[in-house]
Structure 1
């Protein structure tokens, strides 16, 4: 009789685990904008740039008001996202162009020799989100910008967990949105564009107020458009499979380049403006404000096309869509962050935007939308960060998160289930911009900067009463400063590579 009862129980378990159409594994699309500020989309207060499709995701889903990037610059932020590790435990802790190979900033040399493209590779042993999703039975794709390896190295998207890749292997190549080529898997795709090295200027003697003087910076094949068509193709090819699409758009990262109709739209709205004449390796533009707004609207249109395709294929209701940005907005090369109030309620400008661990550099928009699963029009102030995404997706697809992670799943918040575990603290560090560390602990935020100049003092801000981080209250709260200093000391492990040794913390 006991054996019969056990058999009945096992049968019930097996039946309960059987897959029905309603229980099909959810698809995931993670859209990562590049250098998009907290305040650059309508759902987060933007008044000048039109983003109806991104705003619709927020209306139909959940808006996070305290979400943070993994780092204030590109490569380490993406590493945190894909590994679930914060910067104190990371292999990649800054942008590293792997200069020992040779002339890595010579774009003509890179065109001739693809092994000069890309950034320092992450080890083959790295467990990435792509690999975890593959283990869960998902088809995986990366569309957009990689930035964590180089062609023919041990770290390309295809060797690090992505079944399909189309985009820029190299961050530097993404400094031209009309490039000679992008990559599809391990091979170059050559585009119908002439070679032009980033930083090329107007012809000598050009009329800087004539729109025609800037025509050479528009070419035939706009890389974000080419990549987008590949993304739509991936959705169609995998409509019957569970899939994970990591859509790492290069927009609105500089240079200021977008098809003319988008510029014309905003030129008509903003009126005349002074041209940007180029510097720092970026192309000039006749209407820089219109171009920046147009780039964001172009990305917004792509978000709308992704949603429309999901609906066309009948898989919209089974797809979680997340939209966010890799760090705060840039502060240079023609971007008028003050005009657009790109950081929203946080402080704008050099030292506070991209590259810095203040709120404007690391607090980013994040929207999650999933028809029938996430309550529409909701907002959460849960403190969350890029390294939470790995454990969240693991819980969503029913597999164990990696044993080594700094993240906490925010799936209970997405699904409104309650019992959300919370972080005791969030941690960042960055060697670039003279060395920085930061800790966010409840309403407190501690910042170290100028560490390579001998400064190890901690600035302290109360983000609840002082979200713009204007009033350093360290002197009045020594016990909080001591807690933050202890976290900074504990969470920093010596880097694995010489490039990221933190001499200010005693490393040699």
Structure 2
């Protein structure tokens, strides 16, 4: 009797929502792209025309954030709807637990074909998420986007589609700066000005331009092949491999570009200040099919924001970083509101190291920072600030959007500090955060 009832329920579901009514979904992921390194988000020396063009067709998020500023934890959060402590992928290169239901399964249950090209999961982990097709996911397998275009162009199926396309750009190694004039580049205030820095940023800009071109190609073909009932989303897994970006909880590490287009559903040419997290993407896409997302996810659907029904989503954003092998052993946690950012460095006695400081290739710029720091006070301050952090940091993002002035010790802001400290404590307890240290840390040396 139960088997017959279950079959009847599935039959009703299948007949009540036809494949033609289900939206196709296309997600384009860029890799290591700092949000402000695009003309859509204010850059005046780096044009990203396809980001701008796509934004004219949809909704641009000014306050979208990843769950963690390194590749594997960030992508695991996206594909599970759970934060790193709950899905098990805390340090970089780690995996979410096998028993957790992952994004492809949600849509396969609804009759979708779920396909991945390029870096969607963390490289070789991608097939483990259960995609129907997963191709070209190896490190900088840069044929991924052209191959995705070939596959989509040749596809002949009425089955609804969820397609993830992950470019490797602008992740290192950056290409030669063929059409970037290094002299035109504006060096960020957090950087040390050296010829090596300028040359490296030119190569990074070239990589961003490649990403933007590939984004436009995928976007155009998606609507050409799949039609207007297609929800298109573009975002990046975290900031770029620059000091105070990737592996840190400053906004250059955790804030991400996000553009959503859905003709007839999302009003074109709009921007929103609604705060959203990468864990919200899975339930949002699922809700776009007419389904109710599971309540046990950390993510919450922001479909009402997409549809213009509300201008708000989250009151605060929580982010975590646990480390990246022995290159980066520096666990941190943060809570961010619309105005304030509180960062807790769990082990301020550790020296902050990363691929930036440790990997000394021929074109590495970090040695030039260290050399300049020997004679220039401002360079010395930036190098020291990158590698030595206090236990707590507090920033007024309205007055100090680049997070330069730590107010944690200012008695005028003690109330704000205590409030955010308490919020983070409660959230970490709720998450079951064990505050584990992954890898072998390097201790600061006292003079």
After TM superposition, the score normalised by the length of structure 1 is 0.66
How far off its partner does 1:381 sit? 0.3
- Separation of aligned partners in 2, 1:371 and 1:94: 38
1:380 equivalenced with 2:292 (yes/no)? no
The corresponding residue for 1:358 is: 250
Q: 1:122·1:148 contact (CA, 8 Å) conserved in 2? A: no
Query: In 2 relative to 1, CA 95–424 (structure 1 residues): closer, same or farther, beyond 3 Å?
Result: same
Per-residue CA deviation, residues 217-261 of structure 1 (Å, 9 max, x unaligned), is xxxxxx323443234414641552211112222111000237xxx
* Structure 1 residue 311 displacement after superposition: 3.8
What CA distance in whole angstroms lies between the structure 2 residues aligned with 1:443 and 1:290? 32
How far residue 91 of structure 1 moved from its aligned partner, in angstroms, is 0.5
- Provide the C-alpha distance between the structure 2 equivalents of 1:460 and 1:33, rounded to a whole number of angstroms: 29
- Give, in whole Å, the separation in 1 of the partners of 2:424 and 2:63: 21
Matches within 5 A, 1:1-16: none
Residue correspondence of structure 1 range 48-127 to structure 2 within 5 A: 48-96=45-93, 120-127=94-101
TM-score of the superposed pair, with normalisation by structure 2: 0.74
Is the Cα–Cα contact under 8 Å of residues 495 and 501 in structure 1 kept in the other structure? Answer: no
For 2:332, which of 424, 427, 436 is the aligned residue?
436
Alignment of structure 1 residues 410-449 onto 2, 5 Å: 410-418=302-310, 422-432=313-323, 433=328, 434-449=330-345
Q: Which residue is 2:107 aligned to?
A: 133
**RMSD value, Cα:** 3.3
Give a deviation string over 1:107-166, Cα, whole Å, max 9, x none.
xxxxxxxxxxxxx4432212111211211221111211255585xxxxx43442310111
Q: Once structures 1 and 2 are overlaid, which stretch shifts more, 398-407 or 492-501?
A: 492-501
CA contact (8 A) 1:143 1:231 kept: no
How far residue 379 of structure 1 moved from its aligned partner, in angstroms, is: 0.4
Moved over 6 A (4+): 496-499
2:374 corresponds in structure 1 to: none
Contact 2:78 2:282 in 1 (8 A): yes
Q: What residue in structure 1 maps to residue 299 of structure 2?
A: 407
2:17 and 2:120 mapped to 1: Cα distance? 37
Q: Could you tell me how far 1:403 is from its partner in structure 2? A: 3.1
Does 1:165 pair with 2:110? no
Give the aligned partner of residue 264 of structure 1.
178
Greater Cα radius of gyration, structure 1 or 2: 1
- Asked whether the 8 Å contact 2:169–2:207 carries over to 1, the reply is yes
CA gap of 1:452–1:404, structure 2 versus 1, over 3 A, is farther
Instruction: Encode CA deviations 1:282-310: one digit per residue, 9 max, x unaligned.
Output: xx9x9644432232222222222223323
In the aligned structure 2, how far is the partner of 1:500 from the partner of 1:127? 25
Kept after mapping to 1: 8 A contact 2:22/2:160: yes
Classify 1:502/1:60 alpha carbon distance in 2 versus 1 (closer, same or farther; 3 Å): farther
